[in-house]
Structure 1
Amino acid sequence: MTIAILGGYGAVGATAARRLATAGIPIRVGGRNLRSASALCEELGENASAHAVDLTDNRSLATFCAGATVVLNCAGPSYRVLDTVALAASAANAHYVDVAGDQPLLRRLVALPPSDRLAVISAGVMPGLTAILPRGLLGDDPARTAIDLHVGGPVRITPVSAQDILLATGPDFGTPLASWRDGEVVKGSESPQWNVTLPRFGHAVHALPYLTAESVDFARHHGVGELRSHSVYVSERIPTTLATAWAESPDDPTTWAEELAKAAAEDLSEHAPHYTILVRRRDLDRQGPTTWRLLRTTDPYRLSGVVAAHTVHAVLASASAGTYPAWRFLDPGETWAALAADPLCHTETHALPGEPG
């Protein structure tokens, strides 16, 4: 058994590698920088090996994937990687896990010929936990259930992530100012919330409605009555930069990646880093929320690494085959328990009397 981690020495990949190495699983750490990969492998011990890999070189990628049980992709940006690593994993007859990937990648993978291997994408924070955590709060009657999701906080934005964020526009990714109600996307039904107070966010924040494609798939699959999703910011810097980039450079908004990273850094100059996912469930027959869960961390990239490692373990334990987004593959209870036990995470569950915790 061997796990090959591409982008294995970055914040996401290194966190996943450390979690997997503690289980005694042989690890391959791959990427362009062999020195960085080697440094991590020295820390991980004799079960880890460093590999220079160029994902734009098919031969290099094939060599890295050969003989692996699972190929875990932590390299980006996602819009450039697409199915490159997934196809190499498939050719090597390995299972595949990707911390990123949205509808464009899912469409490509489900179109491949059937195999006895697993491919699990969106095994990170967003997309990923932003549907896994709501799934864990669904009651016995999803059609009479409303889910409110708030995600965000002041954290660094890497150049690679900035590019993916800037390109995450259009129907494949989501709809601003929309909600899910009674089986359909209702455009223009929500308004920005400025200077609002949310549990555990610590100060007044701005919550901007953005119904992700992941949330729509989740709500449709489970027949959820209502769902609202908000991106949360501590200032107007990031949303203003995004709006300007999309308006002034619609053909290539990635030219604004540096400005977006700068806006995040300016927020961090005023606030300690923290990233929060708040999920509140209410029954449509009642007033107010009945149950809520909160997950908080200082670094969403490392949190994605925790989710990725958990997903790899789940893949190794599964007898299933096929292609899935993580929220459809992972057990939400087991995932919540794994997060609650990890030192990178702070978790809370609050329920009214008689409600499940």
Structure 2
Amino acid sequence: MTIAILGGYGAVGATAARRLAAHDGNPIRVGGRNLRSASALCEELGENASAHVVDLTDSRSLATFCAGATVVLNCAGPSYRVLDTVALAARAADAHYVDVAGDQPLFRRLDALPPSDRLAVISAGVMPGLTAILPRGLLGDDPARTGIDLHVGGPVRITPVSAQDILLATGPDFGAPLASWRDGEVVQGSVSPQWNVSLPHFGPAVHALPYLTTESADFARHHDIGEHRSYSVYVSERIPTTLATAWAESPDDPTAWAGELAKAATEDLSEHAPRYTILVRRHDLDHQTPPAWRLLQTTDPYRLSGVVAALTVQAVLASKSTGTHPAWRFLDPQEIWTTLADDPLCHTETHGLACTAPELKA
């Protein structure tokens, strides 16, 4: 079973390639524009890995890369410009497809295609991805009486490609600022920003800005959750100010601000050690049971996305399912949590889960 990884030598793809190579010895193709970088990684991975020059804007090049693959893993970006380009090439090659990113625009395109006997799993990274997988593992017996609070962020580097994706992720396809999910619908303007607050596990004087992503809203809708609030957490005003300025001054092409966004993240890191945090808290809206929470922290969310992508590829290879799915619907949240709890890239903690799930190793 051949695994073809596009963007295979980047921060995300290289981690996925290493994990997959160590897992079962399947042949791995590492693809991208830079043959030297791909070849260097393949030397590390061993004889089952091969380097390929691929230009995803060249349909013939992409088709050649996908031909004969069992599953194609896309780690190339920016995701919101790649859209379904790689997914369609994988489908034409009769291969399963996994995308470490992708969101509502990609899902809508793939879900509208004629039925296929192959799997497509998108949003198989950290955000989107773990930001719904971890809350799913916290749900109790009665989601309608459950509230979920999600805090995500911290000081980490932003790569140029990631900066473009962040800047392009604006508008109703991606989420709503100051909104929450409540009683079966998105409630606009229902949550206020929290400036200079002290949040557990994030540190003092951080900024928590409410933003309900489409992933969070779809997750809440699917499970009929009573309330869901989601916050992006920043250690300074640099990143939110840069985003607001980019979207206001360059609405047609905010990616022109990618360098400024990456610079803002670098300046944050000059004052803080790298730490990316996902904190999920479940509370009973009727106050009948005590709260529960899960915490995941890492110094490198890109490498963590590579781990999630590799786990998704392994699940796809073992599955008999078909169709298009976001990773949070396809993956088993308890299995993912247990695996990440033992992973050296992560620090994890749990509290108050004895009533719904076995206590997990911290």
Which TM bucket (shorter chain)?
Answer: over 0.9
Return the alpha-carbon distance in structure 1 between the equivalents of residues 353 and 205 of structure 2. 25
Per the TM alignment, residue 176 of structure 1 is displaced from its structure 2 partner at its CA by 0.2
Kindly indicate whether residue 265 of structure 2 is the aligned counterpart of residue 264 of structure 1.
yes
Q: TM-score normalized by structure 2?
A: 0.97
Letter in 2 for 1:126: M
Per the TM alignment, residue 290 of structure 1 is displaced from its structure 2 partner at its CA by 1.0
Letter in 1 for 2:107: L
Per the TM alignment, residue 337 of structure 1 is displaced from its structure 2 partner at its CA by 1.2
> Which residues of structure 1 form unaligned runs of 5+?
none
How many residues of Structure 1 are paired with residues of Structure 2 in the alignment?
A: 357
> Which residues of structure 2 form unaligned runs of 5+?
none
Matches within 5 A, 1:91-130: 91-130=92-131
Tell me which residue corresponds to 2:154.
153
Matches within 5 A, 1:229-268: 229-268=230-269
Return the alpha-carbon distance in structure 2 between the equivalents of residues 352 and 44 of structure 1. 39
**Which segment drifts farther, 346-355 or 178-187?**
346-355
Tell me which residue corresponds to 2:193.
192
Secondary structure of 2:203's partner?
A: coil
Letter in 1 for 2:144: A
Tell me which residue corresponds to 1:29.
30
Tell me which residue corresponds to 1:4.
4
Letter in 1 for 2:12: V
Tell me which residue corresponds to 2:165.
164
Per the TM alignment, residue 177 of structure 1 is displaced from its structure 2 partner at its CA by 0.3
Secondary structure of 1:203's partner?
A: strand
Per the TM alignment, residue 256 of structure 1 is displaced from its structure 2 partner at its CA by 0.8
Cα offsets for 1:239-285 (capped at 9, x unmatched): 01111111111111111111111100000000010100000000111
Per the TM alignment, residue 203 of structure 1 is displaced from its structure 2 partner at its CA by 3.0
Aligned-residue Cα RMSD (Å) equals 1.2
Return the alpha-carbon distance in structure 1 between the equivalents of residues 289 and 335 of structure 2. 28
**Which segment drifts farther, 134-143 or 289-298?**
289-298
Tell me which residue corresponds to 1:86.
87
Secondary structure of 1:126's partner?
A: coil
**Which segment drifts farther, 251-260 or 93-102?**
251-260
Contact conserved, 1:290 with 1:355, CA < 8 A, in 2?
no
Return the alpha-carbon distance in structure 1 between the equivalents of residues 28 and 347 of structure 2. 28
Contact conserved, 2:2 with 2:27, CA < 8 A, in 1?
yes
Residues 355/5 of structure 1: CA separation in 2 closer, same or farther (3 Å cut): closer
Tell me which residue corresponds to 1:15.
15
Secondary structure of 2:222's partner?
A: helix
Return the alpha-carbon distance in structure 1 between the equivalents of residues 158 and 8 of structure 2. 19
Return the alpha-carbon distance in structure 1 between the equivalents of residues 39 and 219 of structure 2. 40
Return the alpha-carbon distance in structure 1 between the equivalents of residues 93 and 354 of structure 2. 52
Return the alpha-carbon distance in structure 1 between the equivalents of residues 233 and 37 of structure 2. 34
Per the TM alignment, residue 164 of structure 1 is displaced from its structure 2 partner at its CA by 0.8
Contact conserved, 1:291 with 1:355, CA < 8 A, in 2?
no
Cα offsets for 1:261-312 (capped at 9, x unmatched): 1100000000010100000000111189610001100011111000000000
Cα offsets for 1:100-130 (capped at 9, x unmatched): 1011100110111111000000000111110
Per the TM alignment, residue 201 of structure 1 is displaced from its structure 2 partner at its CA by 1.5
Contact conserved, 1:142 with 1:224, CA < 8 A, in 2?
yes
Q: TM-score normalized by structure 1?
A: 0.98
Secondary structure of 2:98's partner?
A: strand
Contact conserved, 1:178 with 1:189, CA < 8 A, in 2?
yes
Tell me which residue corresponds to 2:55.
54
Letter in 2 for 1:281: R
**Which segment drifts farther, 127-136 or 243-252?**
243-252
Secondary structure of 1:87's partner?
A: helix
Return the alpha-carbon distance in structure 2 between the equivalents of residues 182 and 216 of structure 1. 12
Return the alpha-carbon distance in structure 2 between the equivalents of residues 337 and 281 of structure 1. 19
Displacement over 2 Å in runs of 4+ = 352-357
Secondary structure of 2:228's partner?
A: strand
Contact conserved, 1:6 with 1:73, CA < 8 A, in 2?
yes
Return the alpha-carbon distance in structure 2 between the equivalents of residues 277 and 259 of structure 1. 25
Return the alpha-carbon distance in structure 2 between the equivalents of residues 245 and 289 of structure 1. 42
Contact conserved, 2:140 with 2:356, CA < 8 A, in 1?
no
**Which segment drifts farther, 14-23 or 200-209?**
200-209
Cα offsets for 1:191-242 (capped at 9, x unmatched): 0111222222233311000000000000000000000000000000000111
Tell me which residue corresponds to 1:302.
303
Q: Percent identity?
A: 87
Per the TM alignment, residue 354 of structure 1 is displaced from its structure 2 partner at its CA by 4.7
Return the alpha-carbon distance in structure 1 between the equivalents of residues 352 and 169 of structure 2. 34
Secondary structure of 2:204's partner?
A: coil
Letter in 1 for 2:188: K
Residues 289/185 of structure 1: CA separation in 2 closer, same or farther (3 Å cut): farther
